[in-house]
A and B are shown apart, each in its own frame.
Chain A
Amino acid sequence: MILPGIIIALAGACLFCLVRAVLGPTAPDRVVAIDALTAIISAALVLLGVFYRASFYLDVALVYAFLSFLGTVAISKYLEGRGLES
């Protein structure tokens, strides 16, 4: 496998997303950057879990992706100024 190059590329991608999450002028900028960061970290977790033969990394990646989606929807509802039931 070509694992070290892929891990270095994913680390660079995470660094760029963190730069936007720190610099972002408005709140939706930060949410967009954190969403991309979460998807990339899920892929890296699955990569490391398959490489080290540790199955729990994949469960962690699934729960992490689910919590990212939940947080994105909750923050967007909050920014719209409505409750979760409407």
Chain B
Amino acid sequence: MSEVLMKTVVDCATGEVKSVPLTAAEISQRDQDAAAFAAQKAAEEAAAAEKAALKESAKAKLVAGEPLTEEEAAVLVL
């Protein structure tokens, strides 16, 4: 049996508090939110990995006395 997701709804006009199951539309929205969040996280992690790789490459070139690319220089300059 699948779990029924419940949300707590507080009516600030009446003070009534009730627990109601999520509708199909709300569950669909929840899934879209989760997918959007996962996509954001992936993009964020990819950008962080790219920046870290640029830093490593720039560091190695500096030690070896090789010229840096513009992108590598950009991650080193504050």
Q: Do A and B come from one complex?
A: no
